[in-house]
Amino acid sequence: MSQNADLTLSRPKAPALPTLRLPRLSIHTLVVGGVFTLLALPLVATLGYALATSWGATLLPDGLTLKWFLELWSTPRFQLAFARSMLVTLGALVLSLVLVVPVALLAHTRYPRLDTWMNGLVLVPFAVPPVVSSVGLLQLYAGGPLPLVGSPWILIFTYVTIALPFVYRAVANSLRTIDVKSLMDAAQLLGATPFSAFFLVILPNIRIGVQVAVFLSFSFLVGEFVFANMLVGTRFETLQVYLNNMRGASGHFTSALVITLFLFTLLLTWLGNRQSGHAIAKDANA
């Protein structure tokens, strides 16, 4: 860990800086290095544990190995949990796009007041803690005409509502960058139906915004635990619930699981940021 801190500390010394400001700079670099160390500690320790053959009462692990990762990835229960998480997350994202894109389109073209409304509505899932929502969801859908509790469906529908802030804002923002009305009119003048004009002209134009929303909400939904555990639990075990149920397992095994989940989230966030980077580059070129 001290090696890490040294790395960051030595970094800013490389560029030639005015000698007068150097002492003050190093204090600030020290603070940044300290906070970095603080934030990196749990991650580094978990990574070390996941790669260690054994790590007893010593400061450093005895040896390095990939066997915990290989063991995890070949566990059928992990593979199933992974597949279930993908199913629920992809289902929720597809459904939320199908539901939200028409709303964003109409808010942009026909009902400007609707946009104000939606901007207020998207705050609700942010403001209400998941524990609170799940109290109501459990009572409403445990029995009665829609007994969804315990099935993946309730997760899909609930995830649609909590992904709404990301999805709506991203779609609405990308619609703002194009002239929807002229594009629709032009396509229809050339003989397209409103439907094909939407799918062949509007949708390709907002594709990047939609992709950014998908990647960001994907990583957010894969990390969701509260709804998954309270509404469904072991009846449809997703990745986070699986991790929680593995608390009795070897620390090396769970560390490999934690690192795997974290790397997966990082990959999705990176893909999302890369897409938005492309969008900015494209705008700058235009």
Partner 1 sequence: MKRLLPAWLWLMPFALVFVAFQMAPLGWIAVSAFQVEGSWGLGHFQEIATSPFFRQAIWRSLEISLVSSLLGLIIAVLACHSLTRTSGPLRRWMIAFTNMTSNFAGVPLAFAFIILMGANGVLTLALQRVGLIDDFSLYSRTGLIVIYTWFQIPLGMLLLFPAFAGLRADWRDAASLLGAGRVAYWCHIGLPVLRPALAGTFTILIANAMGAYATVYALVNTSYNLMTIRIANLVSGDLFLQPNLASALALILVGLLAMVTLIQQWLLRRSHHVAER
Q: Which of 266, 267, 280, 281 binds partner 1 (CB under 8 A)?
A: 266
Q: Which of 102, 116, 179, 196 binds partner 1 (CB under 8 A)?
A: 102
Within 235-254, the residues that bind partner 1 by CB under 8 A are 240, 243-244, 247, 251, 254
Separation between Cα atoms, residue 125 and residue 76, nearest integer Å: 34
Q: Which of 103, 163, 172, 208 binds partner 1 (CB under 8 A)?
A: 103
Q: Which of 22, 131, 186, 267 binds partner 1 (CB under 8 A)?
A: 131
Q: Is 249 in a helix, a strand, or coil?
A: coil
159: nearest Cα among 264, 102, 86: 86
Within 147-186, the residues that bind partner 1 by CB under 8 A are 154, 157-158, 160-161, 164
Separation between Cα atoms, residue 239 and residue 83, nearest integer Å: 9
Radius of gyration of the chain (CA): 24
Q: How far is the CB of 132 from partner 1 (least distance, A)?
A: 4
140 forms part of the interface with partner 1 (CB under 8 A): yes
Q: What DSSP letter does each residue of 69-99 carry, written as one string?
A: HHHHHT-HHHHHHHHHHHHHHHHHHHHHHHH
120 forms part of the interface with partner 1 (CB under 8 A): no
| 232 Cα distance to chain centroid | 21
Within 21-80, the residues that bind partner 1 by CB under 8 A are 24-25, 27-29, 31-32, 35-36, 38-43, 45-46, 48-49, 55, 57, 59
Separation between Cα atoms, residue 224 and residue 42, nearest integer Å: 20
Write each residue from 194 to 233 as x if it is in contact with partner 1 (CB under 8 A), else as -, in one continuous string.
xx-----------------------x---xxxx--xx---
Q: Which of 78, 82, 85, 134 binds partner 1 (CB under 8 A)?
A: 134
Tell me the residue type at 169.
R
91 forms part of the interface with partner 1 (CB under 8 A): no
132 forms part of the interface with partner 1 (CB under 8 A): yes
Burial of residue 47 (CB within 10 Å: 0-12, 13-18, 19+) is middle
Tell me the residue type at 271.
L
Question: Which DSSP symbol is given to 145?
Answer: T
Q: Which of 66, 70, 94, 106 binds partner 1 (CB under 8 A)?
A: 106
User: What is the torsional sign of CA 67, 68, 70, 74?
Assistant: positive
114 forms part of the interface with partner 1 (CB under 8 A): yes
φ, ψ for residue 240 (rounded to 5)? -65, -40
Counting residues that bind partner 1 (by CB under 8 A) gives: 82
Contact region for partner 1 (CB under 8 A) — 64-72, 121-129, 175-183, 201-209?
Answer: 121-129
Q: How far is the CB of 204 from partner 1 (least distance, A)?
A: 18
Residues 147 and 141 sit within 8 Å (Cβ to Cβ): yes
| Whole-Å CA distances, 8 to 1, 14, 60, 285 | 11, 11, 21, 35
- Compare residues 280 and 286 and give the one whose CB is closer to partner 1: 280
Q: Which of 128, 186, 200, 281 binds partner 1 (CB under 8 A)?
A: 128
